[in-house]
Amino acid sequence: GENVEQHPSTLSVQEGDSAVIKCTYSDSASNYFPWYKQELGKGPQLIIDIRSNVGEKKDQRIAVTLNKTAKHFSLHITETQPEDSAVYFCAASPLGPLAGSARQLTFGSGTQLTVLP
Protein backbone atom coordinates (compact mmCIF):
# COMPACT_ATOMS: atom_id res chain seq x y z
CA GLY A 1 0.00 0.00 0.00
CA GLU A 2 0.85 3.67 -0.12
CA ASN A 3 3.26 5.16 2.44
CA VAL A 4 3.51 8.93 2.89
CA GLU A 5 6.33 10.51 4.86
CA GLN A 6 6.18 14.13 5.95
CA HIS A 7 8.90 16.47 7.22
CA PRO A 8 9.49 18.32 9.41
CA SER A 9 7.24 17.31 12.29
CA THR A 10 7.49 20.80 13.79
CA LEU A 11 8.34 24.11 12.16
CA SER A 12 8.63 27.57 13.67
CA VAL A 13 8.97 30.66 11.50
CA GLN A 14 8.86 34.39 12.07
CA GLU A 15 5.79 36.22 10.85
CA GLY A 16 6.34 37.27 7.26
CA ASP A 17 8.83 34.52 6.49
CA SER A 18 8.12 31.53 4.25
CA ALA A 19 7.38 27.99 5.40
CA VAL A 20 8.03 24.81 3.43
CA ILE A 21 6.71 21.34 4.27
CA LYS A 22 7.83 18.31 2.28
CA CYS A 23 6.28 14.91 1.64
CA THR A 24 7.36 11.79 -0.17
CA TYR A 25 5.17 8.93 -1.31
CA SER A 26 5.88 5.37 -2.32
CA ASP A 27 3.16 4.30 -4.76
CA SER A 28 3.95 5.44 -8.29
CA ALA A 29 0.25 5.03 -9.11
CA SER A 30 -0.66 7.92 -6.78
CA ASN A 31 -1.85 10.89 -8.76
CA TYR A 32 -3.82 13.07 -6.37
CA PHE A 33 -2.09 15.06 -3.60
CA PRO A 34 -4.13 17.26 -1.26
CA TRP A 35 -2.98 19.31 1.70
CA TYR A 36 -5.05 19.79 4.82
CA LYS A 37 -4.87 22.31 7.64
CA GLN A 38 -6.09 21.29 11.09
CA GLU A 39 -6.70 23.89 13.74
CA LEU A 40 -7.05 22.95 17.38
CA GLY A 41 -10.32 21.18 18.12
CA LYS A 42 -11.38 21.04 14.49
CA GLY A 43 -11.31 18.57 11.65
CA PRO A 44 -8.75 18.80 8.84
CA GLN A 45 -9.70 21.29 6.14
CA LEU A 46 -8.60 21.03 2.52
CA ILE A 47 -6.50 24.05 1.58
CA ILE A 48 -5.02 23.09 -1.77
CA ASP A 49 -4.57 20.03 -3.94
CA ILE A 50 -2.64 19.03 -7.03
CA ARG A 51 -3.04 16.32 -9.61
CA SER A 52 -0.23 14.50 -11.37
CA ASN A 53 -0.75 16.24 -14.67
CA VAL A 54 0.35 19.52 -13.08
CA GLY A 55 3.76 20.38 -11.63
CA GLU A 56 2.77 23.41 -9.61
CA LYS A 57 -0.36 25.11 -8.34
CA LYS A 58 -0.76 28.39 -6.52
CA ASP A 59 -3.55 29.98 -4.51
CA GLN A 60 -2.66 33.38 -3.07
CA ARG A 61 0.02 32.76 -0.42
CA ILE A 62 -0.08 28.99 -0.76
CA ALA A 63 1.60 26.92 -3.45
CA VAL A 64 2.20 23.23 -3.97
CA THR A 65 4.81 21.62 -6.18
CA LEU A 66 4.97 18.04 -7.38
CA ASN A 67 7.90 16.01 -8.68
CA LYS A 68 6.51 12.71 -9.89
CA THR A 69 9.89 11.34 -10.89
CA ALA A 70 11.24 11.78 -7.38
CA LYS A 71 7.87 11.02 -5.78
CA HIS A 72 7.80 14.10 -3.64
CA PHE A 73 5.59 17.12 -3.23
CA SER A 74 5.83 20.25 -1.13
CA LEU A 75 3.67 22.95 0.41
CA HIS A 76 4.96 26.50 0.35
CA ILE A 77 3.41 29.27 2.44
CA THR A 78 4.71 32.78 1.83
CA GLU A 79 4.32 35.87 4.02
CA THR A 80 3.22 33.73 6.95
CA GLN A 81 0.75 35.12 9.45
CA PRO A 82 -0.11 34.01 13.00
CA GLU A 83 -3.38 32.53 11.74
CA ASP A 84 -1.35 30.12 9.62
CA SER A 85 -0.33 28.37 12.85
CA ALA A 86 -1.86 24.88 12.73
CA VAL A 87 -1.06 21.25 11.92
CA TYR A 88 -0.66 20.60 8.20
CA PHE A 89 -1.14 17.18 6.63
CA CYS A 90 -0.18 16.01 3.19
CA ALA A 91 -1.91 13.04 1.60
CA ALA A 92 -1.75 10.89 -1.50
CA SER A 93 -4.14 8.67 -3.38
CA PRO A 94 -3.45 6.02 -6.01
CA LEU A 95 -6.81 6.46 -7.66
CA GLY A 96 -7.12 8.07 -11.03
CA PRO A 97 -8.16 11.65 -11.66
CA LEU A 98 -10.69 10.44 -14.19
CA ALA A 99 -12.95 9.54 -11.31
CA GLY A 100 -12.64 13.08 -10.02
CA SER A 101 -12.23 12.52 -6.33
CA ALA A 102 -9.75 10.64 -4.18
CA ARG A 103 -11.08 7.80 -2.16
CA GLN A 104 -8.47 6.12 0.00
CA LEU A 105 -6.25 8.96 1.01
CA THR A 106 -3.10 8.04 2.91
CA PHE A 107 -2.01 10.85 5.20
CA GLY A 108 1.41 11.98 6.31
CA SER A 109 2.13 12.28 10.02
CA GLY A 110 1.56 16.04 10.13
CA THR A 111 3.63 19.19 10.67
CA GLN A 112 2.94 21.55 13.55
CA LEU A 113 3.57 25.01 12.11
CA THR A 114 4.02 27.89 14.54
CA VAL A 115 4.23 31.44 13.23
CA LEU A 116 5.92 33.67 15.77
CA PRO A 117 4.76 37.31 15.92
Partner 1 sequence: DAGVIQSPRHEVTEMGQEVTLRCKPISGHDYLFWYRQTMMRGLELLIYFNNNVPIDDSGMPEDRFSAKMPNASFSTLKIQPSEPRDSAVYFCASSSDRGHGYTFGSGTRLTVV
- State the residues that interact with partner 1 by CB under 8 A: 34, 36, 41-46, 49, 89, 99-110
- Judged by beta carbon, residue 105 or residue 115, the one nearer partner 1 is 105
- Judged by beta carbon, residue 26 or residue 109, the one nearer partner 1 is 109
Minimum Å distance from CB 83 to partner 1? 19
Minimum Å distance from CB 15 to partner 1? 27
Tell me if residue 93 falls in helix, strand or coil.
strand
Tell me if residue 99 falls in helix, strand or coil.
helix
64-73: long-range contacts, CB 8 A cutoff, minimum separation 24: 64/33, 64/35, 66/33, 70/24, 71/24, 71/25, 71/26, 71/28, 72/22, 72/23, 72/24, 72/25, 73/22, 73/23, 73/25, 73/33
- Judged by beta carbon, residue 46 or residue 116, the one nearer partner 1 is 46
Minimum Å distance from CB 102 to partner 1? 6
Minimum Å distance from CB 117 to partner 1? 27
- Judged by beta carbon, residue 107 or residue 114, the one nearer partner 1 is 107
